[in-house]
Amino acid sequence: MSAVIGEVSGRVIELLKIAEQLKALSPVLSGKKRQLLAERLEAELNDIQISIRKAELSALEFEKAQIQLNDEIKRLKQWHEEKAGYEEYITPAGGATYRRKHHGSERGSGHHLCATCFENDKKSVLQPIPGEGVVQFKCHQCGTPVMMETLRGFVEFQVPEWER
């Protein structure tokens, strides 16, 4: 931005010099010389106009980027405030999730958040998926499956090491 302003300032000085030349020489200038200086002055004015438009466009793009960054900062601040209300939870089947902290005798909502997304500053509620012998949830943002618990009455089947 400062480079554009410096360029415009330099061109304005050049225009002032051309205008001074025209003013000082106007009674003695021939039509051809006057025409050349006028064309040079017009070209400089057009270049300055283009530089000003570029500077305005750059300022608008900068303002837009600044607004987006401020929105992102606001979103992250809100998320970190909300994030403080969650704690890591290890499911009975050994899966890791985050859930709301307990407040006295009152329990928070029963949803679980994906640990992977949570650590990446995203809130993604785990959704149940069908499975045999286990209650399993899945994150639909990153695809991480989480085993919540083994169902009673199902015998875990282990394949012998030599068959793996």
* pLDDT single digits (tens) 73-104: 999 899 889 888 999 988 888 888 998 887 44
Do residues 149 and 95 make contact, with C-beta atoms less than 8 angstroms apart?
Answer: no
Q: What is the pLDDT of residue 109?
A: 58
Establish how many alpha carbons lie within 13 A of residue 152's alpha carbon, considering only the half-sphere containing its beta carbon: 0
Please, are residues 131 and 101 in contact by the beta-carbon 8 Å criterion? no
pTM of the model as a whole? 0.53
